[in-house]
Amino acid sequence: MPTYIALLNWTDQGIRAYKETPERAEAFAAATQKVGAKLLNIHWTVGPYDVVAVVDAPDDETASAAVLQLGGAGNVRTTTMRAFGRDEMERIIAKTAG
C-alpha cells in the first residue's frame, strides 16, 4: 500500500489547544481508518513542522480524503508527499535501465 508523509503545522486554533493534541491524534487515526487508510506513526517535532504523520492509503484519493478531514478540523495545515520504500525505489530504478 502506498505511504504518504504529512507535514503538519498548528494553526492558531491548534496551538491554543495544544494540550488536546494526543486526543486529536487518536481521532485522526480513527478517521483515517474510516476512509480506508491507516495512520502508521505520528511524531511531534521541533523545527519548521510541528507534527509529522505517516499514513498508508490504497491511493492518492484516499490519502487526500484523510488529510482533508484532518485539515478541515482547523487545528493544522498540511503538506503531504507520496513516499517510496526501498522495494518501490528499486522497481523505479529498474525501469530506468535501458
Provide the CATH number for the domain formed by 3-96 in this structure.
3.30.70.920
pTM (two decimals)? 0.91
3-state class (DSSP) for residue 3? strand
**Three-state SS annotation for 23-39:** HHHHHHHHHHHHCCCEE
- Contact predicate 81/56, CB 8 Å: no
Domain locations in the chain? 3-96
pLDDT band at 97, cuts 50/70/90? confident
For 17-63, what is each residue's pLDDT tens digit? 999 999 999 999 999 999 999 999 999 999 999 999 999 999 999 99
Note the pLDDT of residue 2.
Answer: 97
pLDDT at 85: 95
Can you spell out the DSSP letters for 38-73?
EEEEEEE-SSS-SEEEEEE-SSHHHHHHHHHHHHHT
